[in-house]
């Protein structure tokens, strides 16, 4: 049997990455070892972060999607916490609501959830 295990991402500063993904976004710490951190959520999806030299960090064309119950509520909460977004939340033609931002290493993230109720 073949199955997906986790995404592996190189970062410049593991403490800064942990603060963003765990303390700000609210993902759960699954593994925490010197030089390596793995986080996840209730759906079983995991991201492993390893601290590397700056020359090994970054990837254009990769977007990490974090599922949330209410995109607008998370946008408001994170904005108050000082997170900067690339755009305001918006319903997308594929039937989900998204808002885009960048993590501390510049990786593109999207918070994704159900579309806004009619009339919003």
- The reply to whether 120 falls in a domain is no
| 22 three-state secondary structure | helix
pLDDT in tens, 19-46: 999 999 999 999 999 999 999 977 778 9
Residue 27 region by backbone torsions, left for phi larger than 0, else alpha for psi between -120 and 50, else beta: beta
In a domain? residue 30: yes
pLDDT reading at 16 higher than 90: yes
- Cβ atoms 109, 63 nearer than 8 A: yes
Q: For the chain, how many structural domains are there in total?
A: 1
Prediction pTM value = 0.87
Of 22-26, 59-63, 91-95, the one with minimum mean pLDDT is: 59-63
> Is the per-residue pLDDT at 119 higher than 60?
no
Residue 21, domain CATH = 3.10.180.10
What is the rounded radius of gyration, in angstroms, for the C-alpha atoms of the chain? 15
Question: Residue 68: which domain range?
Answer: 7-113
């Amino acid at each position: 049997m073949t199955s997906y295990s986790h995404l592996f991402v190189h970062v410049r500063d593991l403490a800064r990455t942990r603060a963003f993904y765990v303390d700000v976004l609210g993902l759960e710490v699954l593994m925490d070892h010197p030089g390596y951190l793995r986080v996840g959520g209730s759906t079983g999806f995991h991201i492993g972060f390893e601290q590397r030299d700056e020359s090994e960090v970054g990837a254009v064309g990769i977007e990490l999607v974090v599922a949330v119950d209410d995109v607008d509520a998370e946008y408001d909460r994170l904005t108050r916490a000082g997170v900067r977004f690339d755009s305001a939340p918006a319903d997308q033609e594929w039937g989900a609501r998204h808002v885009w931002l960048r993590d501390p290493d510049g990786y593109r993230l999207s918070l994704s959830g159900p579309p806004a109720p009619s009339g919003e």
